[in-house]
Structures are given as C-alpha cells and as structure tokens.
C-alpha cells in the first residue's frame, strides 16, 4: 500500500514545485533488514525523508520467561536465543551479572576460558556482519570466504560443548565442560590460520573501490550524536569514540591481557561513516586474535566447576552486570526477592539501542544508501525484540 502526501517546497528561484512523498514499507520480510524488521520509509522519489522502524515481529517475551524459571541457572538457555549469532557473549554478560548478585568468585581458569570463547564468538559474529554487509552492497564472494572460516570456530565450539549455535556453556560459578585434550593446540592453529585471511579480506572487500564508493561518506554518525543516543560497540567506536568496556570498565581477566581499542579515523571518508564502522569490525577481529593467543598462553590449571553452588539462593538485592558484546554494551539488571527464582531480569541490548539512531543518520540519503546504513549497524532482531 502506498500513501501520498503533497508538499510544496520552494526552489532557489522562488517558484513553487509540487512534489509527492510516498510511504513505502521495507520489510518485515526483506533481505536488507537482517531479520523481521519493518522500516516505514517516507520517500521523495529516491530520497529518504524519514524512517520509522516497527518492531515486535520476533518478540519472544525473554524477560517474562526468565522470571518464570525455578532457578537462575535455567535462564542461560533463554539468554542464548537473544543475539543468536553471539550466544557466548550473551551468556558472558548474564553470568557476570548473576555472579555479582550472588557474590561468587570463579576460578581463574574459568575466567580465561570465558575470555577465549567470548573472543572467538566476537570473530564469528563479525564474520557474519561483514559477510552479509558485503551482500547488501553487492559483493558475494567475501560472504563465502568468511563463512568458511567461521565454520572452523563453530567446530571448536562444538568440540567443547557439543553445540554450534546455542551453547549453554557459561554457567553461574563456572562452565558446563572443561576444554577437551588437544583443544588448545587447535585454537592456536586457528589463530595462525586466520591472520592472512583477514589481510585477504581487506584486499577483496574493505579496500575495494566499489565498496568504498558505496560506504565512504554514507550514513555519517557524528561523535556527539552517537554518545547522545547511547550507542555502543563498533557503532560508537566507528564514530571515533575511544570506549570499550573490556578496558574502561574491566571484567574477567581482560586487564591482564595486552590489546588495543579500535576506532574509526575517517581513513577513506568521514569519521563515523559506514566504512569506518566496517573497518572497526575488521580490526577487532585482529585484536581478538591477540587476546585469544595471550589467554591460551596464560591459561592456568584448575577446576571449571569449583564455584558452582548447589543451591542458588541470593539475598533480596539487585545487581547490574555488563560486558562488551560484539554489538556493544550488553547488560543484565537482576532483582532478587530472596527466593530461588529471579524476581526481575531486564536486558539492555545494544542492537535495540543502536537501531534507534538509524532514523537520525538516514534522512536525505538514497534508498540504496539506506540499505548500506542499516547493514552497517549490525543488528540482530532476536536481541532488538527480545
């Protein structure tokens, strides 16, 4: 259904032209929306006048489900299904919040394994983001190469916990399984394998002339606008804001590892454009490899279930825990009423927050550029709707 709105803008010559604005729906079933998102576009020809996102097509009542669980541990499988391409990252944030509520200190071996898994998941998530973004722009081959490499990460996950998508691996107070024999060597070999492939990716896609022309100076998100909208992750760092929770609000053992925060610098366009957001994800994969290699080298011996309580029964209290997930700050606010079941669990999803700024940076763009802008936000609708 197309609705028309008549307006009469004045031209530079003082004459009045009669134009028509149309309302066009993009989605909820549309390849460029990266899930069941409906964008209501107000367009003047090919120019985007306004964008109104419509959510709720994937709503699964995560927070209400969590409140119905008989104990805190049973929430983990539901957390997996929020950002379903970054389940390890979801679990990390939830157990950080739950252990803060319960005042549990986990063994150091658990912390190192969690960091290794979270960074492998960050690489796998960014590979999906960059690969599908290439398809949005019209490049198909990088998608195949990135997914080929991602399969190796899923093989590592499967060997540890038996799953390739939804893991239930991070448990409150520990992990479901220790690393199997030979796994550390396989992880080290993967790091060496991936390094030259990232260089190849840059030559094939990142610095491709067509890709640059489609993403540079498009969808520019100024630093102050990103901060005011509470953006986080590559969306925020792509705008030149040097902020990463792993360094600026440390958790786990990130403070024991040497790595760099990646920010957009306007290398081929304007700081905060679509290209900057993409290059931040590319560089973050390189930094994740640095983190993984150091964590594997420093991995201590010990039990991965030593801190698991037989009965999780916190006192009446509340806690907020947050981590740097692949898409930004993922936080869980947990309220306990003193029983074995959570009274309230509120999730702060970065995809939901980052999506809110799309309207701000899309006005005046072409419809084709809107596809590039939305793809650069790297949203996952399971986390947007929850």
* DSSP assignment of 290-344: HHHHHHHHHPPP--SSTT--SS----SEEEEEEEEETTEEEEEEEEE-SSSSEEE
Predicted local distance difference test score (pLDDT) of residue 12: 36
Predicted local distance difference test score (pLDDT) of residue 145: 95
Q: 103 — alpha (psi -120 to 50), left (phi > 0) or beta?
A: left
Whether 240 maps to a domain, the answer reads yes
Whether 34 maps to a domain, the answer reads no
> What sign for the dihedral angle of Cα 237, 241, 245, 247?
positive
Separation between Cα atoms, residue 181 and residue 162, nearest integer Å: 15
DSSP 19-65: EEEEEEEE-SS-GGGSSS-EEEEEEETTEEEEEEEE--TT---HHHH
Whether 275 maps to a domain, the answer reads yes
| Number of domains forming the structure of the chain | 1
Lowest mean pLDDT among 32-36, 113-117, 243-247, 376-380: 32-36
How much of the chain exceeds pLDDT 70, in percent? 95
Q: Are 385 and 35 in contact (CB under 8 A)?
A: no
CA 75 to chain centre: 20
Tell me which residue range forms the domain holding 246: 66-350
Whether 317 maps to a domain, the answer reads yes
CATH number at residue 303: 1.10.645.10
Question: Mean of the per-residue pLDDT values for the chain?
Answer: 92
Query: With 60 as the cut, is the pLDDT of residue 15 above it?
Result: no
Predicted local distance difference test score (pLDDT) of residue 58: 87
Query: Average pLDDT for residues 71-90, to the nearest whole number?
Result: 94
Whether 13 maps to a domain, the answer reads no
Is the pTM higher than 0.85? The answer reads yes
Whether 359 maps to a domain, the answer reads no
- Which residues are CB-neighbours of 60 under 8 A, at least 6 positions away? 81, 382, 385, 386
CA 124 to chain centre: 11
Return the structure tokens found at 166. 């939804």
Whether 83 maps to a domain, the answer reads yes
Separation between Cα atoms, residue 226 and residue 244, nearest integer Å: 14
Q: Which residue has the higher pLDDT, 32 or 252?
A: 252
Query: With 50 as the cut, is the pLDDT of residue 4 above it?
Result: no
At residue 309 the predicted structure's pLDDT band, cuts being 50, 70 and 90, is: confident
Query: With 50 as the cut, is the pLDDT of residue 321 above it?
Result: yes
Query: Average pLDDT for residues 352-381, to the nearest whole number?
Result: 94
Query: Average pLDDT for residues 343-351, to the nearest whole number?
Result: 95
Predicted local distance difference test score (pLDDT) of residue 27: 81
> Per-residue pLDDT tens for 194-205?
999 999 999 999
Query: With 70 as the cut, is the pLDDT of residue 271 above it?
Result: yes
Return the structure tokens found at 168. 């239930």
| Nearest of 274, 246, 276 to residue 260 by alpha carbon | 246
Separation between Cα atoms, residue 163 and residue 170, nearest integer Å: 13
Query: Average pLDDT for residues 269-286, to the nearest whole number?
Result: 97
Beta bridge partners of 325: 328
Whether 380 maps to a domain, the answer reads no
> Per-residue pLDDT tens for 34-70?
889 999 999 988 999 999 999 989 888 899 999 999 8
């Amino acid at each position: 259904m197309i609705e028309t709105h008549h307006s009469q803008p004045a031209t530079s010559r003082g004459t009045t032209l009669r134009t028509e604005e149309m309302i066009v729906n993009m989605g909820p079933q549309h390849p460029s929306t990266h899930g069941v998102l409906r964008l209501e576009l107000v367009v003047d020809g090919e120019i985007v006048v306004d964008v109104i996102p419509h959510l709720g097509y994937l709503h699964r009542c995560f927070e209400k489900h969590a409140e119905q669980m008989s104990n805190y541990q049973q929430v983990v499988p539901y957390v997996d299904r929020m950002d379903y391409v970054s389940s390890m990252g979801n679990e990390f944030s939830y157990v950080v919040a739950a252990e803060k509520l319960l005042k549990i200190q986990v063994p150091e071996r658990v912390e190192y394994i969690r960091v290794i898994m979270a960074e492998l998941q960050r690489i796998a998530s960014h590979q999906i983001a960059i690969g599908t973004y290439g398809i949005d722009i019209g490049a198909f081959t990088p998608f195949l190469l990135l997914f080929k490499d991602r399969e190796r990460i899923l093989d590592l996950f499967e060997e540890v916990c038996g799953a390739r998508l939804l893991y239930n691996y991070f448990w409150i107070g520990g992990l479901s399984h220790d690393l199997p024999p030979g796994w550390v060597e396989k992880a080290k070999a993967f790091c060496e394998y991936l390094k030259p492939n990232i260089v190849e990716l840059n030559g094939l896609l990142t610095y491709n002339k067509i890709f640059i022309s489609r993403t540079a100076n498009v969808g520019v998100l100024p630093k102050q606008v990103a901060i005011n909208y509470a953006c986080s992750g590559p969306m925020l760092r792509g705008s030149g804001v040097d902020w990463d929770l792993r360094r600026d609000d440390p958790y786990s053992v990130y403070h024991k590892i040497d790595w760099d925060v990646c920010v957009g610098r306007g290398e081929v366009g304007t700081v905060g454009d679509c290209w900057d957001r993409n290059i931040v994800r590319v560089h973050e994969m390189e930094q994740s490899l640095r983190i993984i290699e150091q964590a594997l080298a420093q991995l201590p011996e010990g039990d991965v279930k030593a801190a698991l309580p037989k009965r999780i029964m916190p006192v009446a209290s509340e806690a907020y825990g947050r981590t740097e997930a692949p898409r930004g700050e993922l936080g869980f606010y947990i309220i306990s009423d003193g029983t074995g079941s959570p009274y309230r669990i509120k999730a702060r999803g970065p995809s939901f927050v980052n999506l809110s700024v799309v309207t701000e940076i899309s006005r005046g763009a072409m419809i084709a550029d809107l596809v590039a802008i939305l793809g650069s936000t790297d949203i996952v609708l399971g986390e947007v709707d929850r």
